[in-house]
Chain A
């Protein structure tokens, strides 16, 4: 039975259990809710959880382990030469799986009848052509060992599926029965539900943490792989970036890192003052009416897709800077430049600075402002000397968030600053960043085991470490200030 159906059956059973448990709870207390420990719906939810949760968890575990189990069993039936090395076993298993899947598809669609199947068992040489006619493409000819293994594979899978269906539904029904038996006025259903809720919350946060950890691990493994093929000194200290796909590449991160930091710096130079001043205006000076439409309007900037910003950089800002600044000043004639990307990116991250800072400035207590105004300070003195210092930790956080956004940005850089890795000071020259190079190293026809490709992971990990460092630094600043002034 398809997995979706089983899940639906379990949920339906749980819903029924909910209704029954609720009703029997009410009945057991003779309709007087006050005599029960918990509200009737808690008994219902308890029954729902006990029915659905163990059954669904069992199904999940089964679905994860069934393929592993089947694989093991079938592999032990394969001839010895096929399982001699790990690679050859993998290849053989891949064949078995594709034949099994092909047969399954062909038989269930009626393209191959069971009688035909009998014939193929004796002579598998025509199977490939026959499956091809039925719309299932196989990589190579089918040997009789493979066919046998594939048949075993199918048989095993279907028995296991059946077992799972029976077990899962059985567990669900057993859960419902237990829950219904537990319904008594003195059963603490409310607390039981509470525990489940807590478990659910822990599970959700665990998933987030495990994902992060596994992302880091996969990056670390590939990066170690890279450093086995390419010396780390040349990666971290090399000042040339020139990947060649026949080997002998120079993969120094320095020009990319420089480009990343340079562009982000210009972006922050644009975004921090503008964003902060806008936030101060909005929170301290603007009337409620102005604020209610100006704030969403600024936030729209954050919603524009970065590719649109990229186009704006490429078509408008780039040529403008070239024609009116770079060329007249004799600083180059490149349409794409650090300046272009930095300016446009700066506009993009304004709302990160302004919106967060605005919220933070607004949360500074009015009594502090009153205190300063009451001593005869002007509004701007009050803002400079009292409000901003009080809001500083939050503002630093906002700026660092904007900085991580800028460092991770790709699209605007490709279109605004170009893709040429260069180490230079002239802001009107084309440069590029780490993220752009990650994309270009991973796209196109590449061998996944060459240093030219693996370098992408090393770049990614470096970027990750940089943004992590920024975040830790932000936390440190915020905490230091909190300690002092709270």
Chain B
């Protein structure tokens, strides 16, 4: 169990970034998420774990209102970002998503060049003032996503021509380039080899200096390695939420216990 270096990093007791209370999601008649209360802290990495289909992605999509694009999805309860309800009529979901970036479960590069994929967010939001500045943003984002060395000679070839794992890192770079305040990552390492995974984990750790990071993962080791807080979902319920060290060494709920031990015991 030497890769279970359980968070030697302390939970910074900084302020709450996102506060979710009583969140319920229905897809038509399916009750996908039941009464979830969670606080996402600034400067922390929060990991969501749980068996497939338990609602991790669904909850993640609530946090930047991506569920708006699914006609059948109905979200109730309150989710506050910096104390402001994001489902309030006054909040523009477009602005919200610029602040709460997302890396999706399946890599989805745009049918554009690698460069344009990464430059997409900065261009839309007018984050850079000159071409040189934009070049710089693209380069640092690709470096952060551990992709720069592989693509620096072909920035203008299509992003869809990359391998699956490279595409996943391209999507990470794309999200990072927009400099969000919160970064939601849905299984960002599912198609990556151990080296790239380590690099992305390094990135996640680095990012939490600036953003709050939420990561969904099926790898217990990864959750233990990168996160300070862990939430365990089961059948649409948030079963247990606490400090990562406590969840992995001393879970309170028997379901958490059996899930964790089933995987890493």
- Whether, in the assembled complex, B110 has its beta carbon less than 8 Å from a beta carbon of chain A, the answer is yes
Given contacts A385-B120, A484-B158, A486-B160, contact A375 B111 (CB under 8 A): no
- Whether, in the assembled complex, A381 has its beta carbon less than 8 Å from a beta carbon of chain B, the answer is yes
List chain A residues, Cβ under 8 A from B69: 366, 369-370, 373
Q: Interface centre among B94, B98, B175, by most A CB within 10 Å?
A: B94
* C-alpha gap A377/B110 in the complex (Å): 13
Binds A, one of B41-49, B101-109, B227-235, B246-254: B101-109
* C-alpha gap A367/B106 in the complex (Å): 8
Given contacts A368-B110, A369-B69, A485-B111, contact A375 B174 (CB under 8 A): yes
**B171-199: contact bitstring with A at CB < 8 Å (1 yes, 0 no)?**
10011001000000000000000000000
Asked whether, in the complex, the Cβ of A377 is within 8 Å of the Cβ of B124, the reply is yes
- Whether, in the assembled complex, A124 has its beta carbon less than 8 Å from a beta carbon of chain B, the answer is no
- Whether, in the assembled complex, A390 has its beta carbon less than 8 Å from a beta carbon of chain B, the answer is yes
List chain A residues, Cβ under 8 A from B98: 375-376
Asked whether, in the complex, the Cβ of A374 is within 8 Å of the Cβ of B124, the reply is no
List chain B residues, Cβ under 8 A from A375: 97-98, 101, 120-121, 124, 174-175, 178
> What's the least CB distance linking A289 to chain B, in Å?
11
- Whether, in the assembled complex, B64 has its beta carbon less than 8 Å from a beta carbon of chain A, the answer is yes
- Whether, in the assembled complex, A378 has its beta carbon less than 8 Å from a beta carbon of chain B, the answer is yes
> What's the least CB distance linking A322 to chain B, in Å?
47
> What's the least CB distance linking B152 to chain A, in Å?
20
List chain A residues, Cβ under 8 A from B26: none
**A353-376: contact bitstring with B at CB < 8 Å (1 yes, 0 no)?**
000000000000111111111111
**A384-404: contact bitstring with B at CB < 8 Å (1 yes, 0 no)?**
011001100000000000000
* C-alpha gap A95/B121 in the complex (Å): 84
**A92-117: contact bitstring with B at CB < 8 Å (1 yes, 0 no)?**
00000000000000000000000000
List chain B residues, Cβ under 8 A from A385: 110, 112, 120
Given contacts A373-B66, A375-B120, A381-B124, contact A386 B95 (CB under 8 A): no
What number of B residues sit within 8 Å (CB to CB) of A?
29
* C-alpha gap A371/B107 in the complex (Å): 9
Given contacts A369-B69, A374-B66, contact A390 B111 (CB under 8 A): yes
Asked whether, in the complex, the Cβ of B94 is within 8 Å of the Cβ of A374, the reply is no
Asked whether, in the complex, the Cβ of A374 is within 8 Å of the Cβ of B120, the reply is no
List chain B residues, Cβ under 8 A from A484: 111, 158
Asked whether, in the complex, the Cβ of B94 is within 8 Å of the Cβ of A377, the reply is yes
Asked whether, in the complex, the Cβ of B108 is within 8 Å of the Cβ of A376, the reply is no
List chain B residues, Cβ under 8 A from A369: 69
* C-alpha gap A366/B110 in the complex (Å): 11
Q: Interface centre among B66, B101, B124, B158, by most A CB within 10 Å?
A: B124
> What's the least CB distance linking B125 to chain A, in Å?
6
List chain A residues, Cβ under 8 A from B125: 376
List chain A residues, Cβ under 8 A from B124: 375-377, 381
List chain A residues, Cβ under 8 A from B71: 288
List chain B residues, Cβ under 8 A from A386: 110-112
* B160 in complex: contacting residue of A372, A381, A485, CB < 8 Å: A485
List chain A residues, Cβ under 8 A from B97: 373-376
Asked whether, in the complex, the Cβ of B111 is within 8 Å of the Cβ of A376, the reply is no
For A288, the closest partner residue in chain B by CB is B71
* C-alpha gap A366/B98 in the complex (Å): 19
**B71-101: contact bitstring with A at CB < 8 Å (1 yes, 0 no)?**
1000000000000000000000011111101
* C-alpha gap A389/B117 in the complex (Å): 13
* C-alpha gap A176/B125 in the complex (Å): 77
* C-alpha gap A189/B36 in the complex (Å): 61
* A365 in complex: contacting residue of B66, B108, B175, CB < 8 Å: B108
List chain B residues, Cβ under 8 A from A381: 124
* C-alpha gap A188/B125 in the complex (Å): 67
* A368 in complex: contacting residue of B64, B94, B108, B174, CB < 8 Å: B108
Sample 17 A-B pairs with CB under 8 A, ordered by A number. Answer: A288-B71, A370-B69, A371-B109, A373-B66, A373-B69, A373-B94, A374-B64, A375-B124, A375-B178, A376-B94, A376-B98, A376-B124, A377-B121, A386-B111, A389-B110, A389-B112, A485-B111
Which residue numbers of B lie inside 8 Å of A, CB to CB?
64, 66, 69, 71, 94-99, 101-102, 104, 106, 108-112, 120-121, 124-125, 158, 160, 171, 174-175, 178
A-B contacts besides A386-B111, A386-B112, A389-B112, 12 pairs, CB < 8 Å: A366-B69, A371-B104, A371-B174, A373-B94, A373-B97, A374-B97, A375-B101, A375-B175, A376-B96, A376-B121, A376-B124, A385-B110
